[in-house]
A and B are shown apart, each in its own frame.
Chain A
Amino acid sequence: MQSLVSDSKSDSKKLVFTGKGLHRVENLRKEIYKISGEDVNLCFMCQKCSSGCPLSFEMDLLPSALLHAIRLNQIQTVIDSKTAYLCLSCMGCTTRCPQGLNIAKIMDSLKIILRRERVQFKEPWIMTFYDSMLWSMMSFGRVYELGMLMLLKLRTGNLFKDVSLGLKMLKKGKLKLLPSFQGSKDIRFIKRRLKTVAGEEI
């Protein structure tokens, strides 16, 4: 355990060099607390989150282990883990945590921090999907599925995945050909104000 802790010191420096980020994360736990209001230190490692997680079979660090890594400020371990990206926000862990931690929100905060620091994502496609969907909702006001799918395909380079499924859905009238612009004005307002008020660029 001691070696892990000493690792964390060099890790915290690494982050500065690996990313092109503007901020420096010194204490991951505090940073997460700032965004989510959730204190990782409350975790007493009962592992209920991990045992109920529907995707734990695919994770390299179980949710409880990731929380522990955050607590030890092992930034490189956290960056190298795909756990946060895989989180589906199904709220199973959040519901069952005996300490009342909103673990899904902690995963979100982690994604927000890693994105802000421009760290190389461990599951890049998942984040690309989120970006494509955000583009679609932030430009039209409502999600334009067909446009979002095409953008996703262009960005991932996987042009032919799910094409036949998409065609079937088009035939059944389940994909709209044209976007709706009903809320685009409002969403542009929110985007602009988020930048001026909170300094967040979407």
Chain B
Amino acid sequence: MRFGYYPGCSLHSTAVEYSESFEAICPKLDIELVEVPKWICCGSTPAHSVSHKLSVALPAKIMLNASDNGLKSVLVPCASCFQRLKTAQYELCNNESLKNEMQELFERKIEYNIDIIHPLALFKSEEIEMRLKELKKKSLRGLKIACYYGCLLTRPPKIMNFDECENPVFMDNLLKLLDAETVRWNYKTICCGASLSLTRTDLVLKMVDDILSDAKTSGANCISVACPLCHSNLDTRQAEVEEKYDRKYNLPVFYFSQLVGLSLGISPQELGLNRHLVDTYPLLSEANLLD
């Protein structure tokens, strides 16, 4: 299967292990990734906080670049980019005057009828599921995972069209398929504080503390995420949270693609598991996933 691929800015820097692991598992699952040529930033939160038109124009340009190069569907691993692209597409579909304005802006007819797909949605297809079962080399038994979906992956539901928005289960289902145990917990879709991390760190530490403590009390020994910002808050800020609230969590935070990669037998280095600030190796060796 051939898909367009829009990594987004984060996957090239702070979430480099997400792109490494995702690009490593794709060939094994017969997924060919074609990076959208000359892609630009999706605008993320700053764009829609400053100008509504800018927040539509940037994703529109990305979709234009994709369709100009014959890409009918684009995989977007970053939850924030995914939401921005889907929202822009929704608004272009439903707002004729905005669409005309964008056509005037780009001085051409704009094409936005492409499929914007999050990689997690791929694993819902039976074909990929079968392939995953065939290729599975290691079982994730021993990992008790709290699946953290974060806010943007499923919300708002009328735009994202993804899954049950208050209690999503698609990540749980995928990881259960690989023999992992997933826990029931309350903070699945509660925001981690996102971009306030750099400016109001105090608030983010409190929010992350709530999330981590609920995961811990629910019996999880690690967390799985699908969003670079969730990862950076839960992983890089974890030591600070532990210091501030005088607790010990020691919860490694994985991208779901890293866990899939481990089960497919890809080496931890290739999956970027050495890049985490919360050491992932003790838990992985305990679960016999390192050799």
CB distance from A105 to the nearest CB of B (A): 8
Q: What are the interface flags for A130-143 relative to B under an 8 Å C-beta threshold, 1 for contact and 0 otherwise?
A: 11011001000111
A42 adjacent to chain B (CB < 8 Å): no
Q: What A residues does B38 contact at CB under 8 A?
A: 182-183, 186
Q: What are the interface flags for A184-195 relative to B under an 8 Å C-beta threshold, 1 for contact and 0 otherwise?
A: 001100100110
Interface residues of A in 147-202 (CB under 8 A from B): 149, 152, 156, 161-162, 165, 168-169, 172-176, 180, 182-183, 186-187, 190, 193-194, 197-198, 200, 202
Q: What A residues does B14 contact at CB under 8 A?
A: 145, 169, 174-175
B275 adjacent to chain A (CB < 8 Å): yes
Tell which of B39, B49, B157, B200 has the most Cβ of chain A within 10 Å: B49
Cα A94 to Cα B189 in complex, Å, equals 14
- Contact status A194-B57, CB under 8 Å: yes
Q: What are the interface flags for B159-182 relative to A under an 8 Å C-beta threshold, 1 for contact and 0 otherwise?
A: 000000110000000000000000
- Contact status B191-A92, CB under 8 Å: yes
Cα A10 to Cα B164 in complex, Å, equals 47
With beta carbons under 8 angstroms apart, the residue of B12, B195, B199 that contacts A142 is: B12
Q: What are the interface flags for A24-58 relative to B under an 8 Å C-beta threshold, 1 for contact and 0 otherwise?
A: 00000000000111000000000000000011011
Known contacts A126-B200, A172-B275, A197-B105: A54-B53 contact under CB 8 Å: no
Q: Which residue of B lies closest to A146 (CB)?
A: B13
CB distance from B204 to the nearest CB of A (A): 10
Cα A90 to Cα B16 in complex, Å, equals 24
A64 adjacent to chain B (CB < 8 Å): no
Q: What A residues does B207 contact at CB under 8 A?
A: 54-55
Cα A169 to Cα B233 in complex, Å, equals 13
Query: Interface with B: A13-21, A69-77, A108-116, which one?
Result: A108-116
- Contact status A190-B61, CB under 8 Å: yes
B203 adjacent to chain A (CB < 8 Å): yes
CB distance from B107 to the nearest CB of A (A): 8
- Contact status A183-B40, CB under 8 Å: yes
Q: What B residues does A90 contact at CB under 8 A?
A: 151-152, 155, 191, 194
- Contact status B151-A165, CB under 8 Å: no
B140 adjacent to chain A (CB < 8 Å): no
- Contact status B50-A134, CB under 8 Å: yes
B156 adjacent to chain A (CB < 8 Å): yes
Interface residues of B in 13-68 (CB under 8 A from A): 13-16, 38-41, 43-54, 57-58, 61
The number of residues on chain B lying at the interface, defined by a beta carbon within 8 Å of a beta carbon of chain A, is 60
Q: Which residue of B lies closest to A199 (CB)?
A: B53
Interface residues of B in 227-262 (CB under 8 A from A): 236, 240
- Contact status B199-A88, CB under 8 Å: no
Q: What A residues does B44 contact at CB under 8 A?
A: 133, 143
Q: What are the interface flags for B208-243 relative to A under an 8 Å C-beta threshold, 1 for contact and 0 otherwise?
A: 000000000000000000000000000010001000
- Contact status B156-A202, CB under 8 Å: no
Q: What are the interface flags for B133-171 relative to A under an 8 Å C-beta threshold, 1 for contact and 0 otherwise?
A: 000000000000000000110011100000001100000
Q: What A residues does B12 contact at CB under 8 A?
A: 142, 176, 180
Q: Which residue of A lies closest to B15 (CB)?
A: A174
Q: What B residues does A83 contact at CB under 8 A?
A: none
With beta carbons under 8 angstroms apart, the residue of B41, B48, B54, B191 that contacts A141 is: B41
CB distance from B176 to the nearest CB of A (A): 26
Known contacts A137-B41, A173-B275: A129-B51 contact under CB 8 Å: no
Known contacts A172-B275, A183-B38: A149-B198 contact under CB 8 Å: yes
Given contacts A182-B40, A193-B107, 9 further A-B contacts (CB under 8 A): A55-B203, A90-B191, A111-B50, A123-B199, A143-B44, A172-B275, A186-B40, A190-B58, A190-B105
- The contact sample of 27 A-B pairs, CB cut-off 8 A, is A36-B52, A86-B203, A90-B151, A90-B152, A90-B155, A91-B83, A95-B155, A95-B165, A108-B48, A108-B49, A112-B51, A129-B198, A130-B46, A130-B50, A133-B44, A134-B50, A149-B198, A172-B274, A174-B16, A175-B14, A182-B38, A182-B39, A183-B39, A190-B54, A194-B105, A200-B53, A200-B54
